[in-house]
A = this chain, B = another copy of it.
Amino acid sequence: MSTADDARRARSGRRPGSSGTRDAILTAARVRFAQAGFDKTSIRAVAADAGVDPALVHHYFGTKQRLFAAVVQLPIDPEVVLAQVDAVPLDRLGETIVRTVVGLWDSPVGAGAVALVRSLVAGGDVSLVRDFLLSVVLERVRRRIATESDDGRARVALAASQMVGVVVTRKIVNLQPVTEMSLDQVVAAVGPTLQRYLTGDIGAGPPEPREP
């Protein structure tokens, strides 16, 4: 189905008072995503659950990724970050990811995300956001770095561990002086960590001899 088709059907299907429809789609999507996970949820199934035409879902939310972002109330469109990841050369991936992610958390939209992280770690539906992180965000980075002998899964997960740590210490726990460092300082310190995780040597290698 073309985007033009979608738009036409969306226009014809939209009712005058449309906020109820949008809410019904969101509610159906929330339940579906929670039950089936990100990968196994389709726009078509969400539309069926909400009793609307799939074109309406596309009309209101665009892609499944954006529908998900609306359900978990992500304060930004993940595509903004991912487009940057696709655009940079491989050897600048580390600093680019650090600059983009920490920059976003430092911006006004980041404040909304703090509440999301708190509720998730407190026992909210971690698996849903983790699925999304794995399926969409990390997967896009992984595809850039995968080689024939290394699928890159461990690499992107390690990179994620450092980004989670920076965001939690800088934005949630407020651990000084991580909180006070400028964005440039964070990029200088943490960028090389991500670069090594993504494209450097992360293996154990032969055990080093130790003094007895």
Contact = CB atoms under 8 A, between A and B. Distances in A.
Interface of A: 117-119, 121-123, 126, 130, 133-134, 153-154, 157-158, 160-166, 168-170, 172-178, 181, 184-185, 187-190, 192-193, 196-197, 202-205
Main secondary structure of the interface of A (DSSP, over half): helix
B178 A158 contact: yes
A200 to B, nearest CB: 9
Sorted from nearest, which 3 A-B pairs have the closest CB atoms? Answer: A165-B165, A122-B122, A188-B204
A123 B121 contact: no
Contacts of A174: 126, 130
A126 B174 CA distance: 9
A196 B196 CA distance: 12
Given A154-B189, A162-B161, A170-B161, A176 B134 contact: yes
Nearest to A176: B157
A173 to B, nearest CB: 6
B153 A177 contact: yes
B202 A189 contact: yes
Contacts of A121: 117-118, 121-122, 168, 172-173
24 contacts: A117-B121, A118-B121, A118-B122, A118-B123, A121-B122, A121-B168, A133-B175, A134-B175, A153-B176, A154-B178, A154-B185, A157-B176, A158-B178, A158-B189, A161-B166, A161-B170, A163-B165, A164-B164, A164-B165, A164-B169, A168-B168, A188-B203, A189-B202, A193-B196
Contact of A193 (B177, B178, B193, B203): B193
Contacts of A166: 161, 165
